[in-house]
Amino acid sequence: MTSIQDILSSDFLSNISSVSVVDMAIGLLVSFALGLFILLCYKKTYSGVMYSESFAISLMAMTVITCLIILAVTSNIVLSLGMVGALSIVRFRAAIKEPLDIAYLFWSISIGIVVGAGYLPLAVLGTLFIGLILVIFVNKKSNDNPYILVLQLNDDSTEDKVLEFVAGNTKKHLLKSKTVSEYGIEMTVEVRLKEMQSAFVNQLCQMDGVRNVSLVGYNGQYMS
């Protein structure tokens, strides 16, 4: 039975085709170009609270680094075994704040793998296709954005009038929370505005029994 030591000591390694310098250069340049395209798409589609330039640059770097690893793995079996062992002990603990960032991370790694494996047409077409999808759907503006209406009222009679007024001046409303104390009533209502008009808030604040009104934009992840 042939052992691993027999395989390594035989002519098996010398028969493995190495990647040429030209192929390495083309692979790294293509991965850099595609990584730069991913970076630009990330800038174009980012909609979070705080944009991180270092994370955007790391997407481009990750594409090139992954391509470099795949080129090394495909050219030398000993190096590939050692690299698998080395990467298995690496732990990444960076917090991912936006769900879309995960897609960009997998996108960068996948393109690096595909380029390193030599499937350049697939890498280019796949990058353009994914980038087009993200730019179209992420940047698609919706006119039905939810808003949070925070109301501070004096008593129950004011509550009924306020909810009736809100129902008549919004497309949709939903009571999210209600807090009753000795100082009055505080309600949180999710609303959909009519044609993005918020002038009704001014009228609402002038109603008898209404102490305070706040309208807050909300996208499901953070308030603005």
The C-alpha torsion from 27 through 33 and 34 to 36, rounded to 10°, is 140
Q: Long-range contacts made by residues 210-214, C-beta under 8 angstroms, separation at least 24? A: 210/151, 210/152, 210/153, 210/154, 210/158, 210/162, 211/152, 211/153, 211/154, 211/184, 212/150, 212/151, 212/152, 213/149, 213/150, 213/151, 213/152, 214/149, 214/150
* Residues 29 and 133 grouped into a single domain: yes
Given pLDDT bands bounded at 50, 70 and 90, which one contains residue 224? Answer: very low
Asked if 91 and 108 sit in the same domain, the reply is yes
Considering the domain architecture, whether residues 122 and 162 belong to the same structural domain is answered as: no
223 domain residue, yes or no: no
Domain identity same for 34 and 97: yes
Pair 123, 150 in one domain: no
Residue 39 or 211, more confident? 39
Q: Which of 103, 119, 138 is the last residue of a domain?
A: 138
Statement to judge: residues 36 and 109 lie in one domain? yes
Chain segment 154-198, per-residue pLDDT in tens? 877 778 788 888 888 888 888 888 888 877 888 888 888 777 677
**Res 205 pLDDT > 60:** yes
Is 1 domain-assigned? no
- Check whether residue 161 and residue 90 sit in a common domain: no
- CATH number of the domain at 150, please: 3.30.70.60
Percent of the chain with pLDDT over 70: 75
**Dihedral (CA of 28, 34, 35, 36) sign:** positive
Q: Which domain holds residue 195?
A: 146-217
* pTM, rounded to two decimals: 0.62
Q: Do 40 and 104 sit in the same domain of this protein?
A: yes
pLDDT above 50 (res 223): no
Residue at a domain's end among 111, 138, 165: 138
Are 56 and 166 members of one domain? no
pLDDT digit string, tens, across residues 5-35: 554 454 444 444 566 778 888 889 999 999 9
**Average pLDDT rounded to a whole number, residues 137-141:** 72
For the purposes of burial, counting CB atoms within 10 Å of the CB of 85, is it exposed (0-12), middle (13-18) or buried (19 or more)? Answer: exposed
Asked if 21 and 126 sit in the same domain, the reply is yes
Residues 129 and 25 in one domain: yes
The answer as to whether 10 is a domain residue is no
The pLDDT tens digits of the residues spanning 82-94 come to 565 555 555 656 6
pLDDT digits (tens, 9 = 90+) for 64-76: 988 888 887 776 6
Q: Is residue 6 part of a domain?
A: no
* End position of a domain, from candidates 84, 108, 138: 138
Same domain, yes or no: 90 and 153? no
